[in-house]
């Protein structure tokens, strides 16, 4: 831990790729530094990597959930959430106001659960390729059609976690069949909803804490999606417009296969509460770590103020 304290000072090393080790190390430094920060046990990935999650705010306050890195090559979203956790803690400790709102108010009125990396195995694959130590090594190479995993999005079983929720699952299965999509780098929805340990753990957390709102970070496109099958709770329109003003991101509605089985689809359909899929940054996935600072600057206000928009 002392080593991490030295090597990960106040600022996240945002000019490097984010992986599961960095998430764990960074969160443990913050936990040792800030007594009000709470770690929440959510579960593990298929390869046994912990799905790190922290709670910012009073446990009895209105819950909100932020989730990053459903997709392997979108790990820059984990860096964004780690930086937010860090800034939240610093601001709270200093007792300052953020965007005109006192941190003590945010802390006592909202309880923000932040899960920076839902798919650590997919991140590892996209960053470093398949490991011969994986029991799925041969299968991974077959599913991927080669050893270049740069554009791998799914989890280690070749299931795209953001198509693995119980929303339009049957309809999506038909599309999948038409397009010949099977286990692989992207878009395969799995055998049944929540079949994967990552999605099943996240849904368990959601059923336990009942968030009032969810933000899910993906890359890229500078867009905010807020509907599912063309519908959403009324309040989503208003919150979406404010978020769009804050960030300059375009409000958008999903098309084609993007409209099925996602976390936002499921949460909106199941709970009738606002949920937003935020496509961070612009460029070609995987976005380079050098893009981190500009993306964070655009989203910073949203991270702090989104919870008090409802």
- Where on the chain is the footprint of Zn ion (CB under 5 A)? 71, 74, 218
14: region left, alpha or beta (phi > 0 left; psi from -120 to 50 alpha): alpha
Residue closer to Zn ion (CB basis): 20 or 218: 218
Residue closer to Zn ion (CB basis): 56 or 217: 217
Number of C-beta neighbours around residue 250 at 10 A: 12
Q: Rounding to the nearest 10 degrees, give the CA dihedral for residues 165, 198, 124, 150.
A: -10
CB 286, min distance to Zn ion, A = 11
CB 279, min distance to Zn ion, A = 8
CB 234, min distance to Zn ion, A = 27
Secondary-structure percent of the chain, ordered helix, strand, coil, rounded to 5: 45, 15, 40
CB 144, min distance to Zn ion, A = 18
Query: In this structure, are residues 14 and 77 in contact, taking their beta carbons and an 8 Å threshold?
Result: no
Sheet containing 275-280: which strands, arranged edge to edge?
Answer: 38-39, 54-56, 110-115, 62-67, 213-219, 275-280, 223-225, 250-252
CB 106, min distance to Zn ion, A = 27
Residue closer to Zn ion (CB basis): 219 or 247: 219
Spatial neighbors of 289 by CB under 8 A, at least 6 apart, are: 14, 15, 16, 17, 18, 76, 79
CB-based closest residue to Zn ion? 218
CB 299, min distance to Zn ion, A = 15
Residue closer to Zn ion (CB basis): 87 or 124: 124
Query: In this structure, are residues 31 and 37 in contact, taking their beta carbons and an 8 Å threshold?
Result: yes
């Amino acid at each position: 831990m002392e080593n991490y304290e030295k090597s990960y000072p106040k600022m996240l090393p945002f000019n490097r790729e984010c992986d599961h080790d960095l998430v764990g190390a960074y969160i443990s430094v913050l936990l040792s530094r800030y007594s009000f920060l709470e770690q929440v046990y959510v579960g593990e990935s298929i390869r046994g990597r912990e799905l790190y999650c922290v709670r910012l705010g009073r446990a009895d306050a209105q819950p909100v959930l932020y989730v990053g890195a459903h997709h392997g090559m979108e790990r820059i979203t984990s860096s964004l959430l780690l930086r937010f956790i860090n800034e939240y803690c610093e601001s709270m400790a200093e007792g300052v106001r953020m965007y005109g709102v006192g941190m003590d108010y945010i802390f006592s009125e909202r309880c923000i659960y932040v899960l920076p990396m839902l798919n650590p195995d997919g991140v590892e694959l996209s960053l470093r390729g398949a490991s011969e130590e994986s029991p799925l090594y041969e299968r991974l190479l077959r599913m991927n059609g080669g050893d270049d995993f740069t554009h791998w999005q799914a989890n280690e079983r070749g299931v795209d976690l953001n198509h693995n929720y119980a929303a339009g699952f049957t309809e999506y299965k038909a599309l999948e069949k038409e397009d010949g999509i099977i286990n692989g780098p992207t878009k395969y929805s799995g055998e049944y909803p929540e079949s994967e340990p990552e999605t099943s753990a996240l849904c368990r957390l959601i059923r336990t804490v009942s968030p009032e709102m969810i933000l899910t970070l993906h890359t890229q496109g500078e867009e905010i999606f807020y509907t599912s099958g063309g519908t959403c709770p009324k309040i989503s329109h208003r919150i979406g417009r404010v978020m769009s003003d804050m960030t300059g991101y375009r409000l958008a509605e999903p098309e084609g296969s993007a409209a099925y089985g996602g976390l936002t689809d499921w949460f909106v359909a199941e709970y009738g509460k606002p949920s937003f899929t935020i496509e961070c940054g612009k460029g070609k996935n995987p976005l380079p770590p050098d893009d981190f600072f500009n993306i964070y600057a655009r989203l910073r206000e949203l991270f702090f103020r989104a919870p008090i928009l409802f």
